[in-house]
Amino acid sequence: METKMDKLAFVNAYKAKGWDRKSLAKRWGYISVRRIDQISLEVENEHIKAQAHIDRLNGLPDITNEL
């Protein structure tokens, strides 16, 4: 099942789980937080990898209670 998501929904989804751009970039193996911004735009623009990004986002653990 394919899910569509805009940039704001993508950002709100990772923030709701307690993540910020820096921690998410580190978790996903990126050096720069800029890549997280690029990914959120790819999701919004329905890039070929958009669904994979959404699936990765949905698979993130909730860290709001771990801090």
pLDDT along the chain (67 residues), means of 10: 82 96 96 95 91 93 77
Per the CB < 8 A criterion, the answer to whether 55 and 22 are in contact is no
Domain limits, the chain:
7-58
List all residues 6 or more positions away from 45 whose beta carbon is below 8 Å from its beta carbon.
none
pTM of the predicted model as reported, rounded to 2 decimal places: 0.85
As given in the structure block, the two tokens for residue 64 are: 């709001």
Task: Tell the residue number behind the tokens 């993130």, with chain if given.
Answer: 60
Specify the pLDDT at position 28: 95
